[in-house]
């Protein structure tokens, strides 16, 4: 093995290690975020959700008692003092949360900020109470003060409670919506209780009552529709049962009665007998639904934690084992590089550029191990791409997918140059269009590649891998030696005694001497790779192995055309009786689907480009018939 080959292998192993660590880090980050979101939601429910529920209930009771006191009954006739003590106990729980530092809530900063704002509002509650006791506030002002505190309490339930998009998050949102509907009913209860205490329901109060009745009925129905499991049916049962029968009748009487005698025949005891069962039934439904949602989410949470452990823990072990193995290989290659170079026998043409003896076997073992690893990475990326993600993460996943596809190409290129065959093979013939798309998916700047519209041919499965990599080398070479605003066109046509694939660029072209040297390299490759880029040398090795013939010639537009002539036994004759496909052109470049297809039934990984207008007659894809569907200037920034 020459020093240049050793350096090349060492560099590629280092690159593969960097890609492997990057992919594992990204996968670990995504799965860890899901687990952390779930842990945070559960921690918020335990440490903050229950205290806020109790606080809201106590504030509702204190608001009603204060309104009744201001309406004329006086503090001695209503349990104002008792409701204030219950509120203070609930507020103390919330203050303990704000003062504590639960490590499970390190990523819940916005929730903590809103909880701190609620604590500040509760500190100002003493001012409202003193003004109520001194008679310095009227009933509307006092109720509005309590309403504002309750609204701040509900705002603590922010989007962070459902950051992990799951069934539990959806159930939590429905339960919170039902609790808000109960708050509307509690405000209606406060208004009517104060009016009955004062035996007066003014025009403004009646208008406010009508608005509250309509809003709470609508909000309660909407929230119940989103409840999980048996929640909607249970709500219909209590809404049509005795719990709500008295409330609905009294609401209709108060809303529809004349202004002068709206409260006639209704006492505070009658209202309490109707409102208390409805409020209690709604609170019971909120509590039971929240509890059952947590119980149903427990198995999913266990699966999520197990998946996170597998990706983070087992993935880290695999990464470390492979890195140690690669480090040992790199050390041996470095030692071989610094040792004096001794004469070695020239390898035979069948194993061009392959190391001999134990080194060759080590080379193939390591490279094939990398190939298996890349296959697993591609499968993992494919699964991650199928999950719903924000556009930015989807774009990054696509970039990682494309990078890994290109790394796989390099790995299989190493195996081919070592004189062996990659494990990725096809037993059945593959449509030629899929072969070309697979090649385009393995090159950078693939947006500049145009594929001809008609490909009524198939390629024998035994030659698919070699032809894909051969075409990828030619396409990448054409992209590298042509201006960025131009395109590279790939087309196919029947040429006796076989089939030709043409790769044409709009570059400056080659002079006669350079064209002759390149043609000689393609037809008579040397035993060892020549200095400089290895693209054409790889093309020559792959063409020799699959029996293809590659030639270069000037194109009609001044660039270079590479012609790959495949023998007839690799390309069965197309069925001329079949009509050309009329399917619409594919969408521009969806993420590739990966598979090694050990059974021979799968398709090649492809990135599909929007093709141009229809080409020439069936059976031939011309070189100059496919144009870009967008302006040339737009290709610089795909």
Average of pLDDT values for 488-504?
90
Question: Of the ranges 135-144, 378-387, 554-563, which one carries the lowest mean pLDDT score?
Answer: 378-387
Task: Identify each DSSP E strand in 479-521 by its residue range.
Answer: 488-495, 498-504
Q: 38: which 2 tokens?
A: 């779930």
Please give the residue that has the higher pLDDT: either 165 or 346: 165
- Average model confidence (pLDDT) across the chain: 74
Q: Say which residue the tokens 């019971």 belong to.
A: 284
| CA–CA separation, 393 and 126 (whole Å) | 48
| CA–CA separation, 51 and 546 (whole Å) | 73
What is the reported pLDDT for 215? 94
Per-residue buried b or exposed e for 325-355, using 16+ beta carbons within 10 Å of the residue's own CB: ebeebbeebeeebeeeeeeeeebeeeebbbb
Query: CB–CB of 479/505 below 8 Å?
Result: yes
The dihedral sign for the CA sequence 427, 428, 432, 434: negative
Among candidate residues 199, 626, 260, the one with its CA nearest the CA of residue 448: 626
With cut-offs at 50, 70 and 90, classify the pLDDT of residue 199.
confident
Tally of residues, the chain: 638
Q: Is a pLDDT exceeding 60 seen at residue 401?
A: yes
- Residue 97's SS3 state is helix
Q: Is a pLDDT exceeding 50 seen at residue 619?
A: no
- Residue 166's SS3 state is coil
- Residue 593's SS3 state is coil
What is the reported pLDDT for 617? 36
What is the reported pLDDT for 501? 94
pLDDT, tens only, 230-280: 888 998 999 899 989 999 999 988 888 766 667 888 889 999 999 999 999
Span(s) in the chain for CATH 3.30.565.10 = 430-636
Please give the residue that has the higher pLDDT: either 189 or 324: 189
Question: Of the ranges 87-101, 227-241, 550-564, 569-583, which one carries the lowest mean pLDDT score?
Answer: 569-583
Among candidate residues 470, 485, 486, 625, the one with its CA nearest the CA of residue 562: 470
Residues 6 or more apart in contact with residue 103 via CB below 8 angstroms? none
Please give the residue that has the higher pLDDT: either 456 or 264: 456
Strands ordered across the beta sheet of 488-495: 449-451, 488-495, 498-504, 560-567, 549-554
The dihedral sign for the CA sequence 590, 591, 592, 593: negative
Q: Say which residue the tokens 């950051």 belong to.
A: 163
What is the reported pLDDT for 106? 47
The CATH number of the structural domain formed by 430-636 is: 3.30.565.10
Q: What is the Cα gyration radius of the chain?
A: 37
Q: Is a pLDDT exceeding 80 seen at residue 209?
A: yes
Please give the residue that has the higher pLDDT: either 392 or 215: 215
Instruction: State yes or no: cis peptide before 106, omega within 30 of 0.
Output: no
Q: Secondary structure of the chain: what % helix, strand, coil (to 5)?
A: 65, 5, 30
With cut-offs at 50, 70 and 90, classify the pLDDT of residue 289.
confident
The dihedral sign for the CA sequence 391, 397, 400, 404: negative
Helices 268-309 and 3-44, interaxial angle, to 10°?
160
Number of helical H runs and strand E runs in the chain: 18, 7
What is the reported pLDDT for 486? 92
| CA–CA separation, 228 and 218 (whole Å) | 19
Q: Is a pLDDT exceeding 70 seen at residue 128?
A: yes
Q: 568: which 2 tokens?
A: 């007839």
Query: Which pTM does this prediction carry?
Result: 0.45
Q: Is a pLDDT exceeding 90 seen at residue 94?
A: no
Element (H, E) at 549: strand 549-554
Please give the residue that has the higher pLDDT: either 295 or 634: 295
What is the reported pLDDT for 375? 67
Q: Is a pLDDT exceeding 90 seen at residue 433?
A: yes
Please give the residue that has the higher pLDDT: either 584 or 45: 45
Residues 6 or more apart in contact with residue 347 via CB below 8 angstroms? 353, 354, 356, 527, 528
What is the reported pLDDT for 380? 65
């Amino acid at each position: 093995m020459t020093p240049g080959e050793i350096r090349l292998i060492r560099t590629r192993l280092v690159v593969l290690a960097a890609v492997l660590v990057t992919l594992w880090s990204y996968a670990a980050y995504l799965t860890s975020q899901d687990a952390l979101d779930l842990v945070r939601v559960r921690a918020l429910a335990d440490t903050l959700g229950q205290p806020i529920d109790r606080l809201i209930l106590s504030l509702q009771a204190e608001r009603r008692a204060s309104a009744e006191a201001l309406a004329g009954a006086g503090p001695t006739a209503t349990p104002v003092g008792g409701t204030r003590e219950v509120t203070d106990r609930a507020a103390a729980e919330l203050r303990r949360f704000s003062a504590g530092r639960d490590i499970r809530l390190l990523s819940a900063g916005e929730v903590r900020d809103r909880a701190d704002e609620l604590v500040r509002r509760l500190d100002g509650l003493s001012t409202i109470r003193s003004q109520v006791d001194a008679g310095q506030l009227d009933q509307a002002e006092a109720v509005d003060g309590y309403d504002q505190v309750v609204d701040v309490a509900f705002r603590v339930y922010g989007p962070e409670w459902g950051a992990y998009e799951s069934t539990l998050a959806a159930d939590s949102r429905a339960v919170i919506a039902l609790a808000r509907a109960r708050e509307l009913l509690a405000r209606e209860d406060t208004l009517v209780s104060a009016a009955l205490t004062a035996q007066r329901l003014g025009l403004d109060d009646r208008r406010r009552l009508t608005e509250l009745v309509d809003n709470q009925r609508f909000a309660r129905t909407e929230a119940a529709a989103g409840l999980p499991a048996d929640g909607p049916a249970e709500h219909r049962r209590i809404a049509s049962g005795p719990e709500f029968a008295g409330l609905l009748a009294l609401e209709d009487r108060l809303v529809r009665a004349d202004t002068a005698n709206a409260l006639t025949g209704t006492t505070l005891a009658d209202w309490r007998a109707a409102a208390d069962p409805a409020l209690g039934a709604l609170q019971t439904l909120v509590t039971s639904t929240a509890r059952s949602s947590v119980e149903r989410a427990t198995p999913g949470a266990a699966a999520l934690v197990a998946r996170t452990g597998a990706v983070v823990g087992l993935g880290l072990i695999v990464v470390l084992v492979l890195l140690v193995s690669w480090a040992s290989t790199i050390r041996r290659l470095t030692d071989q590089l610094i040792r004096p170079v001794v004469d070695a026998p020239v390898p035979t043409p069948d194993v061009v550029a392959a190391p001999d003896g134990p080194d060759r076997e080590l080379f193939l073992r390591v490279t094939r191990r990398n190939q298996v690893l890349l296959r697993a990475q591609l499968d993992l990326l494919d699964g991650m791409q199928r999950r719903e993600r924000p556009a930015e993460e989807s774009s990054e996943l696509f970039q990682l997918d494309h990078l890994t596809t290109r790394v796989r190409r390099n790995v299989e290129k190493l195996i081919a140059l070592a004189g062996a065959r990659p494990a990725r093979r096809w037993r059945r013939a593959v449509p030629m269009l899929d072969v070309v798309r697979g090649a385009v998916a393995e090159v950078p700047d693939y947006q500049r590649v145009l594929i001809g519209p008609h490909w009524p041919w198939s390629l024998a499965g035994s030659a698919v891998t070699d032809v894909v990599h051969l075409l990828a080398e030619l396409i990448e070479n054409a992209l590298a030696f042509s201006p960025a605003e131009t395109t590279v066109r790939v087309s196919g046509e029947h040429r006796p005694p076989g089939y030709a694939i043409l790769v044409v660029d709009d570059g400056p072209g080659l002079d006669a001497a350079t064209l002759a040297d390149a043609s000689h390299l393609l037809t008579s490759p040397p035993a060892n790779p020549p200095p400089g880029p290895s693209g054409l040398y790889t093309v020559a090795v792959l063409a020799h192995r699959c029996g293809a013939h590659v030639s270069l010639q000037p194109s009609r537009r001044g660039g270079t055309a590479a012609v790959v002539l495949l023998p007839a036994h690799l390309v069965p004759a197309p069925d001329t009786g079949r009509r050309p496909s009329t399917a619409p052109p594919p969408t521009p470049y969806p993420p590739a689907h990966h598979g090694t297809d050990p059974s021979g039934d799968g398709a090649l990984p492809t990135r599909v480009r929007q093709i141009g207008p229809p080409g020439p007659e069936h059976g031939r894809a011309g070189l100059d018939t496919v144009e870009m569907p967008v302006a040339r200037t737009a290709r610089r920034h795909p």
